[in-house]
Amino acid sequence: MQRSIYLRPVGIFPAPADPDEATFAGLPLAGQPLRFTTVEIAERGGSRISRRIVTLGDAVERDWGRGTIDAARDLEALSAPRPRLAGLALDRPRIMGIVNVTPDSFSDGGQHDEAQNAIAHGLRLAEEGAEILDIGGESTRPGADYVPVEEELRRVLPVIEGLRARTDALISVDTRKAEVMRRAAAAGADILNDVSALTHDPDAMTAAAESGLPIILMHAQGDPRTMNDNPQYSDVVLDVFDYLEGRILACEAAGIPRAKLITDPGIGFGKHLHHNVAVMAALSQYHALGVPMLLGASRKKLIDHISDVPNPRDRVPGSLAAALVGAAQGVQIIRVHDVAATRQALNVWRASAAGSEKVLS
């Protein structure tokens, strides 16, 4: 599906300490302590796309023709608070810690591919401040090979069971396969995280709906083996939006309520550097989808492309910068390898943006 009009909040700023004293404090961004008073209007006309910035008043009062309904829905979605995620409030950035139980992940492959090592790593991330632990048994790095279902189950189920017994952190399973979703849910997983947005496995939509769990829908162009060969977009920011909106509607048609959905624009998945930085600059666009957003840019190749850092483990500073770019645009979930460093950076950002350390209590 493709729209004719899109609204993106710009000029985002921290909410005033006492909004009653302000003449106009703007609209809240997705129910968070961030506000916006202007929006960028993007309009599609065939292959032509135009963008301009207008005030909220102009956005509300103008007749946008056939895009008027979409514009009105976007404004409402941009400001509405998001429902809790498996009981976790999304009124501030939450940290998801990565636990890869794989021999070939791009950054930490082989470090935690034994269950006990992975469990210990997950517990350490929870102690450092991760409120969600994302357990993955199949690498989805560019060029990665397919992992059979039984092997993926052998990798992830003991880790999910071990963590479920020892931590209150939410547990997410990073998988594209329906059977892994079902078995992980039975083992105690709280969230499903599918890089294919429930398109890889024909049975995944049914499995996700039956589980009743929240689901993270990520944008990717193509399969991990080939996705970065030659990705093409007419406008990457809007094309990603259209794809995610289509997947949300498909989930709703399958009986999965919007309140159970989270989106991820998929940094690095079927995107070259210029695509990735364009999406990073426009993350606030995806709040118009009306669901929480996850950002996963930790240690990714775009940091190497920008700063010449070939070793993923040396990309922590770039990862922190990406996390803060996301937080400043209202991203609710930051998926990272380096939890303690990310928590420290977010705490300093939150206190400084609010002008008070009380926001951390």
pLDDT digits (tens, 9 = 90+) for 328-346: 999 999 999 999 999 999 9
| Residue environment code for 294-320, b if the CB has 16+ CB neighbours within 10 A, otherwise e | bbbbbbbbbbbeeeebeebeebbebbb
What is the per-residue pLDDT for 42?
95
Token pair in block for residue 159: 């880790």
Selecting among 44, 82, 299, 335, the annotated active-site residue is: 335
Query: Which residues on neighbouring strands pair with residue 34, listed in sequence order?
Result: 14
Q: Mean pLDDT lowest for which of 125-129, 166-170, 220-224?
A: 220-224
The mean of the pLDDT values for the chain is 92
Residue 251 pLDDT: 98
Residue 168 neighbours by CB distance under 10 Å: 7
- CA dist 206 and 140 (Å) reads 22
> pLDDT for 307-331, tens place per residue?
999 999 999 999 999 999 999 999 9
Task: Give yes or no: 300 in active site.
Answer: yes
CB of 134 within 8 A of CB of 97?
yes
Residue with the bigger pLDDT between 19 and 271: it is 271
Count how many Cα atoms sit within 13 Å of the Cα of residue 8 in the half-sphere of its side chain: 20
321 in Cβ contact with 340 (< 8 Å): no
Cα-Cα end-to-end distance for the chain: 43
The per-residue pLDDT for range 222-256, each reduced to its tens digit, is 777 777 788 999 999 999 999 999 999 999 999 99
Tokens, residue 29: 């961004």
CB within 8 Å of 156: residues ≥ 6 apart: 101, 135, 136, 137, 173, 175, 180, 184
pLDDT band at 21 (very low <50, low <70, confident <90, very high): low
pLDDT at 169: 98
Q: Among 83-87, 129-133, 255-259, 352-356, name the one with the lowest average pLDDT.
A: 352-356
pLDDT for the residue 356: 86
* Identity at 65, one-letter amino acid code: G
Q: Choosing from 300, 301, 343, 350, which is the catalytic residue?
A: 300
CA atoms within 13 A on the CB side of 177: 17
Percent of the chain with pLDDT over 90: 78
The pLDDT score that the predictor gives to residue 47 is 83
Q: What is the pLDDT of residue 114?
A: 83
Active site residue 260: no
Count of beta carbons in the 10 Å neighbourhood of residue 150: 10
Given this model, what pLDDT does residue 234 score?
94
Q: What is the mean pLDDT of residues 38-65?
A: 89
pTM value > 0.75: yes
Is residue 112 predicted with pLDDT exceeding 70? no
Q: What are the residue ranges of helices labelled H in the chain?
A: 56-61, 68-79, 115-128, 149-164, 178-187, 204-211, 236-253, 273-281, 301-307, 316-328, 339-354
